[in-house]
Chain A
Amino acid sequence: MDGWDSFSHVTLVLAIEARFGVRFSQKELLSFRNVGDIAACLEKKAAG
């Protein structure tokens, strides 16, 4: 994606944490390869 970089990634993850009221662990952060991984992690947190 044009203009997307690791700074944008941090901003996105921080915004998701704030929006959904969750906090990702370092292990979860290491495992994220795409937005789908973040969505799956959010669903897991919501379920349990």
Chain B
Amino acid sequence: MFTPLNLAAITAAAFLASFAPGRRPRNLGLLAASCLFYAAWDWRFLPLLFVSAGTDYLCALGMRASSDDSVRKRLLLTSLAVNLSILGFFKYFNFFAAGLADLLGTFGFHASAPALDLVLPLGISFYTFRTLSYTLDVYSGRLEATDDFLDYALFVTFFPLIAAGPIVRAADLLPQLSRAGGRRPGWAGEGLHLVFWGVFEKVFIADNLARISGPVFSGGEAAGAAALAGVYAFAFQLYFDFDGYSNIAKGVCRLLGFDTADNFRLPYLSSNAVEFWERWHISLSSWLRDYVFMPAAMAMRGFGNRSAAAAALLTFTLCGLWHGAAWTFVLWGAYHGALAAGYRLARPHLALLPKPGGAAAAPLRRALAVLVFFHALCLGWVLFRAGSVSSAFSVLRALASAGSAPAAGTFMKLAFFLAVPAAAQFWQAKRGDLMAVYRAPVPARAAFYFLCSCLLVIFGAKEAQEFIYFQF
């Protein structure tokens, strides 16, 4: 099972293995560590990883060997069918079986849905998309198929990325795995900084905010401002939970000598849905953009310039379904699709509107747009967090009602837990550099680490909670 001790032991062993002389010994060591990591969660699902890895490895080799496009297409469809069937079975069987039974019920046929007691394999949504990026890119000619199954198996099982991504593309990681060395000076320091900051985001910020948001979403009595504080708390809890995980993952990759792209770029400073998705869970949004949105938009050419809006609606709805087999996620996705499509259809008209205050007031107008859009996001997070659609409506009703309980104390707590990250993000935004804190002068950095360590020790949540995105 996962315990901090065995995770630390596996990471330490992988760190040592990453210095092994030569690519094969290093990759063998890292593959062994990755398999141990997955087995520590549940060894029974380890073979599933190798079914996905083996299928895509062979399909890609087949595509490389054939110049016949129909053969290549069949191999791509095989890869898609195998991977999406496994994902569909484990993640969506109960959802669609219940949906079908409900549908039959509306036509007067009473069927009881077979509900299977399925355990969702850890990281299945993430590694499925990661391995599919390989066959899709080999099919399109963007990427050369690899001969080496060791490299490919390591790419699919790589433990820093397995539990909740980021969904690093094969084109970005495989070339790094396929060569020896590549570690750059300074990566160890950056990696340690990212791991430290990620732990701080999770244990000090997210887990403490969970205690504020939890009661609002579990049938609590909070209403009005108190409910609003709970929704704000969840918005930041989710962000710092997932950003924390992503920073730890990126930091561990750096420590092992590999580079991965950023998964978040200060997303709550976005002023509209299109910008938000360029800064939030970037590895997923860019995957969906390239492999779902673009093909869907072009398949819907008949709608003319509206094809992109229709494709956005479809893509975001699927994005919601990717997060979980529940109507709340589907509605959350559709809501974001409507926000993105609506914004892009309105953008040419918005550009013609008068700009109060002229150029001098542009930062103020931007700040206002960010604030308004943040509240639109919060509405979506209610759907995302609520256990059911009716529960989401209960929270929305609580938001709209006048609460009698004082909420000033809750807002003070929010401000306390968010003061350090707000200052850090202000500095990052000002410098245009997500590593700005790491690159600050040594005395400032030392003070920052000291302050964060004190906050972690004194106020860090004592009961460790699982990362939210592990459930997806």
Contact = CB atoms under 8 A, between A and B. Distances in A.
Interface string B253-282: 000000000000000000000100010000
Nearest to A11: B305
A14 B305 CA distance: 8
Interface in B316-340: none
Given A7-B308, A13-B298, A30 B278 contact: no
Q: Could you say which of A10, A13, A24, A27 has the most chain B C-beta atoms within 10 Å of its C-beta?
A: A10
A5 B341 CA distance: 12
B388 interface: no
B295 interface: yes
B301 A14 contact: yes
Say which size band chain B's interface belongs to: 20 to 34
Nearest to B345: A7
A7 B298 contact: no
Interface stretch (B136-144, B176-184, B226-234, B241-249): B136-144
A9 B309 CA distance: 13
Contact of B290 (A13, A14, A28, A30): A30
Given A14-B301, A24-B298, A7 B136 contact: no
B312 interface: yes
Given A7-B344, A14-B301, A14-B305, A27 B312 contact: no
A1 to B, nearest CB: 12
Contacts of B278: 5
B308 A10 contact: yes
A14 B289 contact: no
B307 A33 contact: no
Interface string A1-37: 0000111011101100100000010111111010000
Contact of A33 (B139, B142, B291): B142
B357 interface: no
A24 B297 CA distance: 12
A6 B289 contact: yes
A10 B290 contact: no
Contact of B308 (A6, A26, A30, A31): A6
A17 B274 CA distance: 25
Contacts of B140: 27-28, 30-31
Q: Could you say which of B142, B294, B305, B312 has the most chain A C-beta atoms within 10 Å of its C-beta?
A: B294
Nearest to B315: A6
B295 A7 contact: no
A10 B307 contact: yes
A29 B311 contact: no
A27 B139 contact: yes
A30 B307 contact: no
B305 A6 contact: no
Q: Could you say which of A5, A7, A24, A31 has the most chain B C-beta atoms within 10 Å of its C-beta?
A: A7
A26 B141 CA distance: 12
A26 B142 contact: no
A13 B309 CA distance: 15
Interface of A: 5-7, 9-11, 13-14, 17, 24, 26-31, 33
Given A6-B308, A31-B141, A33-B142, 18 more contacts: A5-B274, A5-B344, A6-B289, A6-B293, A7-B274, A7-B312, A7-B344, A10-B297, A10-B311, A13-B298, A14-B307, A17-B301, A26-B299, A28-B140, A29-B294, A30-B136, A30-B140, A30-B291
Interface of B: 69, 136-137, 139-142, 274, 278, 289-291, 293-295, 297-299, 301, 304-305, 307-309, 311-312, 344
15 contacts: A5-B344, A6-B294, A7-B308, A7-B312, A9-B294, A10-B294, A10-B298, A10-B308, A11-B308, A14-B305, A14-B307, A17-B301, A30-B139, A30-B291, A31-B142
